[in-house]
């Protein structure tokens, strides 16, 4: 066991897997010599050489495409898109090619590749360093979408993603790279060191893709969250003394429907919480699933607490970010309803 | 807003929209196209520096002259068996195209695309590569499959989406895929396979393999961002890849000027990336073979990528859904100054004393019979039945291969569909 933050856990996942499998190659902008703008690949090029860890031109479409070509050859590429906000030039390659290769070739070709990308807001990143585009990938078939919320899961899920034979989009909530964030921007950030999930096993282990975690067991209401929002939910229910069940989805495609259903049928109330914009966001899918499958158990309408349907604003960060006040209000509403 | 007439003394700007020389009703006119003599272009060593061969992107490599003789430094000096095999494959592609075009008109399939006039590019290109090299084709390189002895019935089953279709009816006709024959899965999204080929080649280099990749793109799709991505990555990592552009003058209804070819060549794109560019008569099978071989040798020697523009003409409509009389002069293809690739290779073999009209006619008859037999065989496994829910495939396979395993939501949707079909059949 070593105490790690999320960056270190992600870095370590690369290291563990590259040691085990010579077919793993890593590429992206600034990920080589420099070790990545968030240090996620620090030291890897020195250890594994430029043959396996190399800088890429600034071309997200190209990065994803050569990743696809390398995976088609038989390698297991892990490519980085510097910010999720910049993944769109690679969108055609991810949606039209990576997500469909196995299907369109009836399994003749498949693409064991991971597309890592820091995502989410709460860092004064403005319009192009804060977005949460997970719904776009959840909507595209053939792609798994994974979003960890702590160092232990980050390492275990990334190893599972690298070992998965299907393409995985791996979004890393950069707000919590260094410590969990409960939405109280006016308080100092606690580093991961004081959190139990920062105890990370040294070698190989996996956290299964498609399995949610119950971050807090409770009876009064279910909160469905992932990424930074898990910590926000935990903080708010502790402050308000609400016996909520907080579910950290960890994977949004395929989502862990059993855990969701079991929880909502028990609590009868459900809040869906995400940073992404509301309309046609992944919360809409969650809300629909809960409505379809738990209708007769619901005591109140499912409520979505999300980013607003605007581009992510810079100076208005804390008015936009779905923080403790907004979640607190939603909890009161759902519990009183 | 200021009245433009009141502005300072500047001429009004005008948008330039390129137009082809001829439109429907006009006589075909290719007088603007320079037809250089065969044998004129120098053949550098494969280790030549790209900046020392800048002129090549504006030349046109040609081997077969007007008499059918092979001339100049690019003559690949192929033995006659190879020449006859290439001729046979090109004729086979033509026979296959005609048969499948007819099958589409008969309603046995929904869609087809011919490559008439471009047979030399895929066939000679494939013969110049090793069989283990990976090809990343577009939808108009069916000649690669023929050159690599892929069974015609397999191709036809894909076109028919029938029980024999290895892609299980999931792909539009002609979007073949066969890993064993080094033929990468065709996608409807244009240009995407071009940088993928570069990635495949990079992987081959990473593993210290000796195989190379080859990719094809039409001149129209060179306008896609993926074309630029491919050239950038290929140049940066000196990827062992042959990057082919098939300039057949037409992207559906838009002439090559709209793709950016009005004042330059497509081969010239190579210059800015620091890689060698060759421009080749695409209707000259020997020139296609020689240029491909040069680029393949270069790639295999760790000297990096080559961009090749094959200059040709799309003789038929874009697809069975297209009518070219709506946008270009009738029978333009018949006046293409570089002739027909099949006729030119035939003429060469005749000139060598290794072929004649009787043998040619007999071969066409033989190939036609082979295609008909393959078609008969393929049709025993069904044709596309558009107006029935009695699908030729096992319908439950629709949900396979989205992922390695079916997650819960696909299991549920499969059950939902099965129930719907059962209800509909009652």
Contact list in A for residue B225 (CB cut-off 8 A) is: 61, 89
pLDDT of residue B426 exceeding 90, the answer is no
| Number of domain units in chain B | 2
pTM of structure? 0.97
pLDDT of residue B387 exceeding 70, the answer is no
Tell me how far CA of residue A123 lies from CA of A25, A30, A142, in angstroms.
30, 21, 31
Tell me how far CA of residue A335 lies from CA of A36, A302, A326, A330, in angstroms.
44, 11, 14, 8
pLDDT given at position B392 = 73
Average pLDDT over residues A256-278: 98
Question: Is B15 a member of any domain?
Answer: no
pLDDT of residue B6 exceeding 70, the answer is no
The 10 Å CB-count burial string (b at 16+, else e) for B251-269 is: beebbbbbbebeeebbbbb
pLDDT of residue B425 exceeding 90, the answer is no
Torsion B298-B302-B307-B313 (CA) sign: positive
Cα B74 from chain centre: 22
The 10 Å CB-count burial string (b at 16+, else e) for A46-80 is: eebeeebbbbbbebbbbbbbbbbbbbbbebbbbbb
B206: contact with A, CB 8 A cutoff: yes
pLDDT band at B5 (very low <50, low <70, confident <90, very high): low
Cβ distance B196 to A65 less than 8 Å, yes or no, reads yes
pLDDT band at B389 (very low <50, low <70, confident <90, very high): low
The answer on B209 and B132 residing in a single domain is yes
The answer on B256 and B141 residing in a single domain is yes
Q: What percent of chain A has pLDDT over 70?
A: 100
Q: How many other C-beta atoms can be found within 10 angstroms of the C-beta atom of residue A324?
A: 18
pLDDT of residue A87 exceeding 70, the answer is yes
Contact criterion met (CB below 8 Å) for A318 and A185: yes
Average pLDDT over residues B24-29: 96
Average pLDDT over residues B277-299: 98
Looking at chain A, the domain(s) classified CATH 3.40.50.920 span: 213-336
pLDDT given at position B290 = 98
Q: Which residue has the higher pLDDT, B386 or A274?
A: A274
User: How distant is the Cα of B405 from the closest Cα of chain A, in angstroms?
Assistant: 9
The answer on B421 and B335 residing in a single domain is no
pLDDT of residue B424 exceeding 90, the answer is no
The answer on B413 and B272 residing in a single domain is no
User: How distant is the Cα of B206 from the closest Cα of chain A, in angstroms?
Assistant: 6
What's the rounded Cα separation, in Å, for the pair A122 and B8? 50
What's the rounded Cα separation, in Å, for the pair B95 and B85? 15
Contact criterion met (CB below 8 Å) for B176 and B274: no
**Which of these, B52, B50, B57, lies nearest to B305 by C-alpha position?**
B50
Q: Tell me the per-residue pLDDT of B391-413, one tens digit each, with 9 for 90 and over.
A: 777 888 999 999 999 999 999 99
Q: Tell me the per-residue pLDDT of B185-203, one tens digit each, with 9 for 90 and over.
A: 999 999 999 999 999 999 9
Q: Which two tokens stand for residue A280?
A: 């046609």
- Interface confidence: ipTM more than 0.95: yes
pLDDT given at position A152 = 98
Question: Is B251 a member of any domain?
Answer: yes
H helices present in B53-151, as ranges: 80-105, 119-128, 142-147
Question: Is B101 a member of any domain?
Answer: yes
CATH class of the structural domain A2-200: alpha beta
pLDDT given at position B357 = 98
For residue B247, the enclosing domain spans 50-320+329-387
Q: How is residue A281 annotated by DSSP?
A: S
Q: How is residue B236 annotated by DSSP?
A: H
B215: contact with A, CB 8 A cutoff: no
Tell me how far CA of residue B154 lies from CA of B137, B161, B277, in angstroms.
17, 10, 35
How is domain A213-336 classified at the CATH fold level?
Rossmann fold (3.40.50)
Question: Is B9 a member of any domain?
Answer: no
Q: How is residue B395 annotated by DSSP?
A: G
pLDDT given at position B384 = 87
The arrangement of strands across the sheet holding B213-218 comes to: B134-136, B213-218, B241-247, B306-311, B277-281
B394: contact with A, CB 8 A cutoff: no
Alpha-carbon torsion, ordered B98, B101, B105, B107, to 10 deg: 120
**Which of these, B226, B232, B242, lies nearest to B191 by C-alpha position?**
B226
Looking at chain A, the domain(s) classified CATH 3.40.50.970 span: 2-200
Q: Tell me the per-residue pLDDT of B59-102, one tens digit each, with 9 for 90 and over.
A: 999 999 999 999 999 999 999 999 999 999 999 999 999 999 99
Test the A interface: residue of B164, B171, B204, B403 with most A CBs within 10 Å: B403
What's the rounded Cα separation, in Å, for the pair B39 and B60? 9
What's the whole-number average pLDDT of chain B? 96
pLDDT given at position B197 = 99
């Amino acid at each position: 066991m070593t105490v790690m933050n999320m960056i270190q856990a992600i870095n370590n996942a690369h290291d563990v897997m590259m040691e085990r499998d010579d077919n793993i190659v890593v590429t992206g902008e600034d990920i080589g010599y420099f070790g990545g703008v968030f240090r996620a690949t620090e030291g890897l090029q020195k250890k594994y050489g430029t043959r396996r860890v190399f800088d890429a031109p600034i071309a997200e479409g190209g990065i994803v495409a050569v990743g696809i070509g390398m995976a088609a050859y038989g390698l297991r590429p892990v490519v980085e898109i510097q910010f999720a906000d910049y993944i769109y030039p690679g969108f055609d390659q991810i949606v039209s090619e990576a997500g469909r290769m196995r299907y369109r070739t009836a399994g003749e070709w498949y693409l064991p590749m991971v597309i890592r990308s820091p995502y989410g807001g709460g860092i004064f990143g403005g319009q192009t360093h804060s977005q949460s585009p997970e719904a776009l990938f959840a909507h595209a078939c053939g792609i798994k979408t994974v979003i960890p919320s702590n160092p232990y899961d980050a390492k275990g899920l990334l190893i599972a993603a690298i070992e998965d034979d299907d393409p995985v989009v791996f979004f890393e909530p950069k707000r919590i790279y260094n410590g969990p964030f409960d939405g109280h921007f006016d308080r100092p950030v606690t580093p991961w060191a004081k959190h139990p999930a920062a105890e990370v096993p040294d070698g190989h282990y996996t956290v299964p893709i498609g399995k949610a975690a119950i971050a807090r067991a409770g009876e009064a209401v279910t909160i469905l969250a992932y990424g930074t929002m898990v910590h926000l939910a935990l903080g708010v229910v502790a402050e308000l003394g609400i016996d909520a069940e907080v579910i950290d989805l960890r994977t949004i495609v395929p989502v862990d429907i059993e855990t969701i259903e079991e929880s909502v049928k028990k609590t009868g109330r459900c809040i869906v919480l995400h940073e992404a914009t509301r309309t046609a966001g992944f919360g809409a899918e969650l809300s629909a699933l809960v409505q379809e499958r738990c209708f007769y158990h619901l005591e109140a309408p499912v409520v979505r607490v999300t980013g607003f349907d605007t581009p992510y604003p810079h100076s208005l960060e804390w008015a936009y970010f779905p923080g403790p006040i907004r979640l607190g209000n939603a909890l009161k509403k759902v519990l009183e309803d | 807003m200021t009245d433009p007439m009141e502005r300072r003394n500047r001429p009004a700007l005008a948008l330039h929209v390129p137009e082809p020389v001829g439109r429907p009703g006009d006589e075909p006119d290719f007088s603007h196209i320079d037809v250089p003599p065969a044998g004129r272009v120098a053949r550098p060593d494969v280790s030549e520096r790209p900046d020392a061969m800048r002129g090549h992107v504006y030349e046109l490599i040609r081997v077969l002259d007007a008499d059918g003789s092979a001339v100049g430094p690019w003559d690949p000096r192929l033995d006659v068996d190879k020449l006859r095999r290439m001729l046979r494959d090109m004729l086979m592609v033509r026979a296959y195209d005609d048969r499948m075009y007819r099958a589409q008109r008969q309603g046995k399939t929904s869609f087809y695309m011919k490559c008439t006039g471009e047979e030399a590019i895929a066939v000679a290109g494939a013969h110049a590569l090793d069989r283990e090299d990976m090809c990343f084709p577009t939808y108009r390189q069916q000649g690669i499959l023929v050159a690599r002895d892929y069974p015609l019935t397999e191709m036809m089953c894909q076109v028919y989406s029938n029980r024999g279709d290895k892609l299980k009816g999931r792909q539009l006709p002609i979007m073949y895929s066969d890993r064993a024959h080094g033929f990468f899965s065709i996608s409807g999204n244009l240009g995407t396979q071009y940088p993928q080929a570069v990635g495949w080649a990079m992987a081959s280099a990473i593993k210290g393999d000796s195989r190379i990749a080859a990719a094809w793109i039409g001149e129209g799709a060179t306008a896609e961002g993926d074309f630029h991505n491919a050239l950038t990555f290929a140049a940066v990592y000196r990827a062992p890849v042959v990057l082919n552009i098939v300039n057949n003058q037409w992207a559906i209804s838009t002439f090559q000027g709209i793709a950016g070819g009005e004042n330059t060549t497509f081969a010239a794109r190579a210059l800015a990336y620091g890689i060698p560019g060759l421009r080749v008569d695409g209707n000259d099978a020997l020139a296609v073979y020689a240029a491909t071989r040069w680029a393949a040798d270069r790639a295999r020697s760790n000297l990096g990528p080559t961009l090749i523009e094959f200059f040709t003409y799309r003789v038929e409509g874009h697809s069975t859904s297209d009518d070219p009389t709506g946008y270009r002069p009738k029978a333009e293809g018949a006046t293409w100054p570089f002739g027909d690739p099949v006729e030119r290779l035939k003429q060469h073999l005749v000139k060598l004393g290794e072929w004649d009209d009787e043998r040619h006619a007999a071969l066409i008859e033989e190939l036609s019979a082979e295609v008909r037999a393959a078609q008969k065989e393929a049709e025993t496994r069904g044709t596309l039945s558009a107006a029935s829910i009695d699908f030729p495939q096992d319908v439950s396979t629709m949900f396979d291969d989205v992922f390695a395993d079916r997650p819960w939501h696909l299991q549920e949707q499969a059950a939902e569909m099965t129930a719907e079909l059962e209800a509909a059949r009652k």
